[in-house]
Amino acid sequence: MSFDNPFPGGGTVAAAGRARFIAIGGIAAAHTAALGVMLWTEHGWLASLLFVLAWACLNFSFLLLLPRPGVAAALSLLLVTLLITLSHFKFTILWMVINFFDVLIVDSDTVSFLLSIFPDLKTILLIVAAVTIPLLIVLWRIDAFRVPRLVSLGGVVACSVAVTVLSLRFPEEPWEQFQGVNHVSTFVRSGVTTLHELSTKGWIDYDTATTDQLRSTVNAACHPAGKPPNIVMVLDEASFDISVAPGVKVPPNYKAHFQSLDGKTRSLVVEGSGGPTWYTEYNVLTGLSARSYGRLSYYVTRIAAGHVERGLPQALRRCGYKTITLYPAYGAFLNARRFQKTTGVEQFVDSAEMKAGDGVEPDRFYYNQALRMIENDRGDQPLFIFVYTLFNHFPWWNRLQPQLTPDWRDLGNHPEVDEYLRRQMLSARDYADFKTQLQTRFPNDRFLLLRFGDHQPGLSSKILEPGASDAVMTQRMLTYDPRYFTTYYAIDGVNYRPANLTSALGRLEAVYLPIVLQEAAGLPLDPTFAEQKKIMLRCNGLFFECANGNEARRFNRLLIDAGLIKGMVSR
């Protein structure tokens, strides 16, 4: 590194010395500030090491363009500060820190959401620019040190290789983005993982070629015999039959909540355990597997938005339904609004529009929203309403709204298990009340209801195999052990008996729920669902697990050729 006198010609040796001292102080201050930011925001040796490497890589990158180390450090600190500020802001609203997809996929829905809840953002950015630019000019003038570009290039290469090796050796776990920490390291790791997946396998798994073809669904006729029933599909948050865990005590009549109107209990195989609702959301709305996206499945709804146009809502609209979603979070969460609009949801109502409180609302809040929607929109057009519940959401170490269950008595299980059961029983009570309200308020209308658990709760990993080591549990998750990926689905009716339940197998992957629902409503299947039913029958209710994923890859290819999956492959 060399030093240039910023006061050539008439500058004195003393002035040059002062400039050198100021420059060293400025550089040291920027790097010290970065160290403080790391200690404040990054937790764990891996996150801290990735932060240091990312910081060095950022500095060397700027030095390639502007070989002044003071300016490079200042610009790096500015970018890191901006990244962490935006990540903190995102986490307070959407419960997730920033990741590479926020840069790779910048969608209008997220931008408009950001501006709507932070209307002064443009003004603040202009003020920051007005302050920062003059400071950078001053720093440029006094920064007399120079770093050779060859040294900077070597630094970029070395740091990039180290970041890549560490990120691939220790890939991020999906739950890490919900912790509200490790903002820079999470962004870096998600970037490496994403670029590696895209370069090695692309967006989605599919057969490169197939001789089969689907008939077009554009003009597929739907002529049900008579007016079909209204449909209410309920996502029962984090719910499964916990009595399968050894030694767990459950309330009397606990299992009734998981039974269909024919008295049968049916199992649903989902693709996430412990938290990712959006995997099952993708399954039941598109009828497709999130696992087809590999490690990118974590971003499945963001990737599919605007690209996957096949799904249950689209099929129901062709049969005359008005399609509605009542969503318990902001519509910008994982691009949910745009994703569901793509699948055919006409009216997407998020938590802000429903005026949900800051805390977790009981299930009856969302059922009451559905009742109001039915009251306002009922008519000649049948309704499809997708209702999410939230009360059984993590965590369970706190007694959430105890006044709702004054008669509850713990059963002697672990406190978290008893709290989980308390919330489940309240959910069952609210659902029973909802059915009563449908019968009372709409005695001449018919309703088909389908409930399903979106995933098991996180506590299931502690109670299904007590004493299992972390290594054993990791293996269970990596191999999709069905004990941890099985919930339930139940079919019900008010003033209505399901027309056909032959597809409602005792054990079913979640991608087939659209077929079950349409046949129970007496609706003809369009060509895509008719083809998928053949897969369901020959694979005995499995989809991605059937034939080592070959059936899912073939079906994805059919949908790509039919123009229902767009922009994910190069033809």
Q: Rounded CA gap, 107 and 90, in Å?
A: 15
Q: How confident is the model at residue 5 (pLDDT cuts 50, 70, 90)?
A: low
Q: How confident is the model at residue 143 (pLDDT cuts 50, 70, 90)?
A: low
Q: How confident is the model at residue 66 (pLDDT cuts 50, 70, 90)?
A: confident
Residue 326 β-bridge partners: 349, 387
pLDDT score recorded for residue 6: 55
Cis peptide, bond prior to residue 362, ω within 30 of zero? no
Per the structure block, which two tokens stand in for 487?
Answer: 């919930």
Q: Residue range 299-322: average pLDDT?
A: 93
**CA nearest neighbour of 270 among 245, 239, 307, 244:** 239
231-240, pLDDT tens digit by residue? Answer: 999 999 999 9
pLDDT score recorded for residue 367: 98
Q: Which helix (H) or strand (E) holds 313?
A: helix 312-318
pLDDT score recorded for residue 177: 64
Per the structure block, which two tokens stand in for 284?
Answer: 């039941």
Residue 442 reports pLDDT greater than 70: yes
- Say if residues 511 and 287 touch (Cβ distance below 8 Å): yes
Q: Rounded CA gap, 438 and 15, in Å?
A: 84
pLDDT score recorded for residue 269: 97
Greatest alpha-carbon span in the chain: 96
- 3-class secondary structure, 188: helix
pLDDT score recorded for residue 59: 85
pLDDT score recorded for residue 283: 97
Tell me the CA end-to-end span of the chain in Å, nearest whole number. Answer: 50
382-396, pLDDT tens digit by residue? Answer: 999 999 999 998 889
- Say if residues 359 and 391 touch (Cβ distance below 8 Å): no
Which domains are present in the chain?
2-200 (no CATH), 230-271+310-559 (3.40.720.10)
- Mean pLDDT, the chain, rounded, equals 85
Rg of the chain in Å (alpha carbons): 28
Tell me which of 70-79, 106-115, 186-195 is least confident.
106-115
pLDDT score recorded for residue 264: 97
Residue 230 reports pLDDT greater than 70: yes
Q: Rounded CA gap, 496 and 505, in Å?
A: 20
Q: Rounded CA gap, 323 and 317, in Å?
A: 7
487-528, pLDDT tens digit by residue? Answer: 999 999 999 999 999 999 999 999 999 999 999 999 999 999
pTM of the entire structure? 0.79
Residue 15 reports pLDDT greater than 60: no
